Homo-oligomer: A and B are copies of this chain.
Amino acid sequence: MDIGVVGSGALGLYYGAMLQRSGQSIRFLLRRDLQAISDSGLLVHSVNGDFHLPKLAGFATPQEIGPVDLVLVGLKTFANQHLVDLVRPLVGKETAILTLQNGLGNEELLADAFGAKRILGGIAFLCSNRGEPGEVHHLGEGRIRLGEFSGGLSERSRQLADMFQMAGVPCETVDDLHKARWEKLVWNIPFNGLSALLNKDVTHLLSHPPTRQLVREIMHEVIAGANAQNLKEPIAGEEFSARMIHFTDQMDHYRPSMMIDRAEQRPLELEAIYAIPLQLAATAGISMPRIAMLYSLLALGEGDRK
């Protein structure tokens, strides 16, 4: 399959590399890593074993990539104002678009530009970060849950899941992508924001009883917001939050992406992870006071970036 990767940060590079290694044909839209990768390929440092891809098809503009069968979107959502322009040159008659970005609003943005039928979304449980140019670090996990933006289980989504599976990436299909996105937010909203705000990893956050309680309260606000969104089935509140916290207790001082973004003075993905969920909840009559507060506190700090 001809695949174009837009947004070749840690996530785009890692999944693109895994797919290329399994025999797919990948074209990467590169910026920072273009020169290094053209010179010496891509080195993937992975918990599952390092590997090196000596040749990658890297391009500086989406026009050079041209139409593909599948666009894989890994762009950080704070750059979403460029998303449609970056994707458009890759879209041919039959092109599908799979966004693996964080939070809400990404499928909608793509659907408005290219039609809902082309769009799939995936939730990536990936712990990775960029290293030196030409290198990427896979620190753990990697699982993807993907589904149709328009809902339901399609043959296309099963084929994509198979493709990832064959590339060594655990992947399952979901028939309610919207629910899957909200389920991920149950984790992202408390842990991304609190870790960025306080500069504390998840183990620190959970080892302090008042913050552990706050994480739980924030999760329940997310679940209340989610369950007002006409999901096919509601998220089971206490059970789901307990499971998320237990799951996070197993992580050893994991630093969520937003904590790293702030530490490295990058913008935060506040729109996709906070503003849009808050707005959708408010439209459904659900107030999420702690999340609104967390969003305000994070937004204030954004003024400090150079």
The binding surface of chain A is classed by DSSP as: helix
Query: This chain: how many copies in the complex?
Result: 2
A191 within 8 A of B: no
Size class of the A contact interface (CB-based, 8 Å): 20 to 34
A145 within 8 A of B: no
- A300 and B211 alpha carbons, distance in the complex (Å): 7
Q: Which residue of B lies closest to A208 (CB)?
A: B300
Chain B residues, CB < 8 A from A299:
208, 210-211
- A296 and B206 alpha carbons, distance in the complex (Å): 12
A297-B208 CB under 8 A given contacts A289-B290, A290-B289? no
Cβ–Cβ contact B200 & A300, under 8 A: yes
A40 within 8 A of B: no
Cβ–Cβ contact A293 & B290, under 8 A: yes
A255 to chain B, nearest CB (A): 16
Chain B residues, CB < 8 A from A83:
none
Contact of A293 among B214, B295, B301 (CB under 8 A): B214
A231 within 8 A of B: no
Chain B residues, CB < 8 A from A294:
293
A208-B290 CB under 8 A given contacts A297-B197, A297-B198? no
Cβ–Cβ contact B296 & A214, under 8 A: yes
Chain B residues, CB < 8 A from A285:
none
Chain B residues, CB < 8 A from A292:
214
Q: Which residue of B lies closest to A218 (CB)?
A: B293
Please list the residues of chain A having a beta carbon within 8 angstroms of any beta carbon in chain B: 194, 197-198, 200, 204-205, 208, 210-211, 213-214, 217, 289-290, 292-297, 299-301, 303
Residue pairs across A and B with Cβ atoms less than 8 A apart, 7 shown, are A197-B297, A198-B300, A208-B296, A210-B299, A210-B300, A214-B297, A290-B290
Known contacts A214-B296, A214-B297, A290-B293; 15 further A-B pairs (Cβ under 8 A): A194-B297, A197-B297, A198-B300, A200-B300, A204-B300, A208-B299, A208-B300, A210-B296, A211-B299, A211-B300, A213-B296, A214-B293, A217-B293, A289-B290, A293-B293
List 10 A-B pairs, minimum CB-CB distance, nearest first: A210-B296, A214-B296, A208-B300, A211-B300, A290-B293, A289-B289, A211-B296, A210-B299, A198-B300, A214-B293
